[in-house]
Amino acid sequence: MPALPTGTGPRRRAVLAAALAPLAAAGCSGGEEPRPPAPGQQPAAEDALIMVIRHAEKPYAGDTGWDEDGEDDPGSLAGRGWRRAEELPRLFPPAKRSSLPRPAAVFAAGGKAPAPARCRQTVKALATALRIPVRAEFAVGAEPALAHALLAGPMPALVCWEHTGIPRLVRALGADRVLGLPAAWPDRYDLVWQFTRRGGQWSFRELPQQLLSGDA
């Protein structure tokens, strides 16, 4: 810092004010970063767009799916589920030819139970096409932490989750009272639930995927 002029005149007071202005703007914090929200506290109600899907088809009773290596695995997707996963990138084309926006973040259930494995398998091809990683650090049951990460992260965001946990996620987002929202995820694999927050208010719409023959 350049030497400050001596004396008590107006020029000295003006120079001192200019020199101290950056410290005042920083709150004399000494470079301290803003504190993150406390655990369980949601970020401020900024605009958000979150899309939720169920994992793709699982094996029927008495059947088996297969894992990424082609090995039989009842905890993995069935053949139709793998076909849906392969077609999922078509829902989010590069050009604006879809009513759904391309995700800037992709989340899938984590853990070792069958449903999380299917969730990660469902969005793997999509994440590869988008050139972004799949975030799978949240297990089914940790919906409040997932909701916090979603609202604090880039938008739009896509979540692939186990269907029984989706209502808990919606409640954690604070979007459980929007008009038209079903009480539970229906017995279907071909839907997208889209939640949009504008001015602190959530809206909801349900969209069909229409990726495979037989989809509604």
Q: What is the DSSP letter of 203?
A: E
Q: CA 94, CA 85: separation in Å to the nearest integer?
A: 18
- pTM beyond 0.75: the answer is yes
Which among 146, 168, 197 is positioned nearest to 42, based on CA atoms? 146
pLDDT in tens, 38-93: 444 444 568 999 999 999 999 988 888 999 999 999 999 999 999 999 999 999 99
Which among 206, 141, 148 is positioned nearest to 167, based on CA atoms? 141
Q: How confident is the model at residue 36 (pLDDT cuts 50, 70, 90)?
A: very low
Q: Does residue 213 carry a pLDDT above 60?
A: yes
Alpha helix segments (H runs only) across the chain = 10-25, 79-87, 114-130, 143-152, 166-173
Mean of per-residue pLDDT scores for the chain:
84
pLDDT in tens, 105-120: 999 999 888 889 999 9
What is the rounded average pLDDT of the residues 11-24?
39
What is the rounded average pLDDT of the residues 155-178?
97
**HSE on the CB side for 131, CA within 13 Å?**
1
> Residue 89's pLDDT is what?
97
> Residue 216's pLDDT is what?
85
Q: Which residues contact 69 (CB under 8 A, 6 or more apart)?
A: none
> Residue 167's pLDDT is what?
97
Q: CA 107, CA 123: separation in Å to the nearest integer?
A: 8
> Residue 52's pLDDT is what?
98
How many other C-beta atoms can be found within 10 angstroms of the C-beta atom of residue 34? 5
Q: How confident is the model at residue 26 (pLDDT cuts 50, 70, 90)?
A: very low
Best mean pLDDT range from 11-20, 49-58, 95-104 = 49-58
